[in-house]
């Protein structure tokens, strides 16, 4: 029975923090990233194996499975921040966002479904507060992540009792993809103040919940979409 945890999007703020937290708790991780230098560097720190794959590429699951075919858990730490008014959003924008956030997650899950079932495994997906709250210019990403939330509860029902499926719904987190927003200090401060806890999220915040959900620490939790958002979804 495998005790390996597959982290896709491992060099991002949340993925790298999750991989580190799992490693520090004695878990074995396999990292998946697009950038070989960054992924290799992290793998050396965590004494772990890694795969180089882009989830937008056809056949990316086969590339990963060539290196690891048996897993205990999957964390799909992949996301995007696609902000446009609807009038400027093309069908291609929606399709690419859905491919990145939803379709590739489905392909990955299908590729490892038998292994996860055998190992009584767990899947963690990621959403955004914008899937439930209405924010201007968020139609692309909110649509894709709302679909991820629907996938979460549907698969949790379908896969029970052998595989648990949960989702972490984030607000804006300090990460590479958020830098276009956060590099403007006035804008960053305004966003922070919009949260009841008055700060931007850090990768470790979402990763801490993901670690709980992907391991047997949460063995009686499935079908949940849980916010890690500084109170943004409920209190402001």
User: Considering only CA atoms, which of 111, 125, 99 is closest in space to residue 222?
Assistant: 125
pLDDT band at 182 (very low <50, low <70, confident <90, very high): confident
A 10 A CB-CB count for 127 gives 27
Span 158-182, average pLDDT: 93
What pLDDT does residue 236 have? 78
What pLDDT does residue 9 have? 98
pLDDT tens per residue across span 123-136: 999 999 999 999 99
User: Considering only CA atoms, which of 34, 71, 78, 32 is closest in space to residue 51?
Assistant: 32
Domain residues for 71? 4-235
pLDDT tens per residue across span 22-35: 999 999 999 999 99
Distance CA 122, CA 182 (A): 33
Burial class (CB in 10 A: 0-12, 13-18, 19+), 174: middle
DSSP per position, 17-30: HHHHHHHHTT-EEE
Q: Strand, helix or coil at 47?
A: coil
Half-sphere exposure of 1 (CA within 13 A, CB side): 8
Check if the beta carbon of residue 225 is closer than 8 Å to that of residue 150: no
pLDDT tens per residue across span 39-90: 999 999 999 999 999 999 999 999 999 999 999 999 999 999 999 999 999 9
Does position 1 have pLDDT exceeding 80, yes or no?
no
How many separate domains does the chain show?
1
For 108, the token pair is 């990955």
206: region left, alpha or beta (phi > 0 left; psi from -120 to 50 alpha): alpha
The enclosing domain of 10 has a CATH number of: 3.40.50.720
pLDDT band at 190 (very low <50, low <70, confident <90, very high): very high
Query: Which percentage of the chain shows pLDDT scores above 90?
Result: 92
Q: What is the DSSP letter of 52?
A: E
pTM: 0.96
Q: Is the dihedral of CA 90, 93, 96, 97 positive or negative?
A: negative
Distance CA 14, CA 173 (A): 9
Does position 183 have pLDDT exceeding 90, yes or no?
no
What pLDDT does residue 202 have? 96
Backbone phi and psi for residue 44, each to the nearest 5 degrees, phi listed first: -70, -40
Strand (E) or helix (H) holding 214: helix 203-214
Tokens 């086969």 found at: 62
pLDDT band at 177 (very low <50, low <70, confident <90, very high): confident
Does position 2 have pLDDT exceeding 80, yes or no?
no
């Amino acid at each position: 029975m495998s005790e390996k945890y597959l982290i896709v999007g491992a060099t991002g703020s949340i993925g790298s923090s999750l991989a580190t937290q799992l490693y520090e708790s004695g878990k074995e991780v396999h990292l998946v990233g697009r950038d070989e230098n960054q992924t290799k560097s992290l793998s050396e720190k965590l004494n772990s194996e890694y795969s180089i794959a882009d989830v937008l590429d056809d056949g990316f699951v086969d590339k990963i499975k060539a290196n690891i075919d048996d897993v205990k858990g999957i964390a799909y730490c992949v996301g995007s921040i696609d902000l446009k008014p609807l009038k400027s959003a093309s069908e291609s924008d929606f399709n690419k966002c859905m491919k990145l956030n939803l379709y590739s997650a489905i392909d990955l899950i299908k590729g490892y479904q038998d292994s996860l079932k055998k190992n009584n495994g767990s899947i963690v997906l990621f959403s955004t507060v914008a899937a439930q709250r209405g924010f201007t210019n968020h139609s692309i990403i909110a649509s894709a992540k709302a679909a991820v939330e629907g996938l979460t509860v549907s698969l949790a029902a379908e896969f029970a009792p052998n595989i648990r499926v949960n989702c972490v719904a984030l607000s804006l987190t300090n990460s590479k993809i958020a830098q276009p927003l956060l590099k403007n200090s006035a804008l960053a401060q305004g966003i922070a103040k919009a949260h009841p806890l008055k700060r931007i999220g850090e990768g470790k915040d979402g990763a801490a919940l993901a670690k709980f959900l992907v391991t047997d620490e949460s063995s009686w939790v499935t079908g949940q979409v849980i916010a890690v958002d500084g109170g943004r979804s409920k209190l402001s």
